[in-house]
Amino acid sequence: MPDESPPPEIQLNEPGQHTAEKALPPVQPPTAGFVFQLFIIPAIIVGIIAVVSLLFSWLAHMGGTSESLVKDLERGGPHSWQTAYNLARELQKPGNAVLRRDEALAGKLATMLDRQLDIPLSSYEGAESASVLEPNPRKAMAQLRFFLCRTLGEFETSVVLPVLIRAATTEEYVGQGPNDLGDEYVRLSAIEAITVLVGRLGPARIPNPDVVNDAIHMACERDDDSMANGRTQLRSAAAFAMGVMGGESNLDRLASMCNDAELNVRFNAATGLARNGDVRCQEVLLEMLSVDLEAIPSEGDQGESYAQVWKQHTIWRNALRCLERLAHENPGADMDVFRMAVGELLQEESIGELISEVRETLDVLENRP
């Protein structure tokens, strides 16, 4: 029969044997120096390596991105305008200030646009030849020129001005519809690019300012078909550009444009005058402060659209900024009538999120030195 007696009891701590606690050294808390050597110093070294690596990677990416985009532009193609758009976005980034001052890159892109302008848009096939698979060649070329202008405007060098002036004054073909873009579309981008460039460099650093002014004044001209070919947008952009350029001739022209039939044109004219402390903007600024939805064109057929309300708030916000700028640039200007208008705006039920900005402007006007 099997032995069913219980197994002998195991003695873990027999006399004379060492226990686990006796075999290990006594536990002591780590010292500050030990923790510093074991964790802090390696972490600092790893952090420095990571920062240096990211810095070199960022620099390489910045240069590599711009170079690859320029090479893509040089290769051409129906979607080159998208590449030009991406390059403009790259230049807009706050960390790319060095790239914006790269005269060699700016000159290369200026030459590219100059060559494009040598070919009339009318020589390309238009909307009638476009299909789902094949893009409209004329539209694609107009878009490429549009975004090349925008890209050049992001630079901080005046070497791009001559080609921008050429683009702003070239009008060989006028677009016949939304899918058939013409030179007026490119001119609009060129005027906006000149405005951005002047804003970056300052009017004093612009060579041949009279030539620049002539190009802007040319863009202000209107014709009988201004609504059909986008001339209103061009004239509105030109009004804003004159305000940035400043100078007596531009301010006199802006004063006359305050009587323009187009809402955006006269509002931008008043903005330019206020920017330079010229009180001839008074009547239009008061109009901006009291603009209602009926004065704003609606894109829909049913009542007040979201776009109308958004534009109304934008006009009010711009008017408030203009008043503060006018008060700053012209300390002697009589602002009493504006104080009353801003106070009335404060009572508007639809003022919404602008209420704090209205109060700030009113405070500026009431506490002028």
Distance, CA of 338 to chain centre: 30
Domain chopping of the chain, boundaries: 48-245
* Maximum Cα interatomic distance, the chain, rounded to a whole number of Å: 125
Please count the other Cβ atoms lying within 10 Å of the Cβ belonging to residue 287. Answer: 18
> In the predicted model, what is the mean pLDDT of residues 340-366?
91
Q: Contacts for 123-131 with beta carbons within 8 Å, 24 or more apart?
A: 126/176, 126/180, 127/176, 127/177, 127/179, 127/180, 130/179
Reduced to 3 states, what is the DSSP secondary structure of residue 180? strand
Most confident of 77-91, 144-158, 218-232: 144-158
Extract the runs of DSSP E, i.e. beta strands, from the chain. Answer: none
Most confident of 132-146, 188-202, 221-235, 283-297: 188-202
Indicate the range of 47-61, 193-207, 219-233 predicted with least confidence.
Answer: 47-61
* Rounded Cα gap, residues 73 and 323, in angstroms: 43
* Rounded Cα gap, residues 153 and 168, in angstroms: 12
* Rounded Cα gap, residues 33 and 127, in angstroms: 76
* Rounded Cα gap, residues 313 and 211, in angstroms: 36
Quick one: what percent of the chain has pLDDT higher than 70? 75
pLDDT of residue 57: 46
- Give per-residue pLDDT as tens, 278-290: 999 999 999 999 9
* Rounded Cα gap, residues 184 and 174, in angstroms: 6
Q: Contacts for 246-255 with beta carbons within 8 Å, 24 or more apart?
A: 246/203, 246/275, 246/276, 247/203, 247/209, 247/213, 249/213, 250/213, 250/216, 251/276, 251/278, 251/280, 253/217, 253/220, 254/278, 254/280, 255/280
**DSSP code at position 177:** B
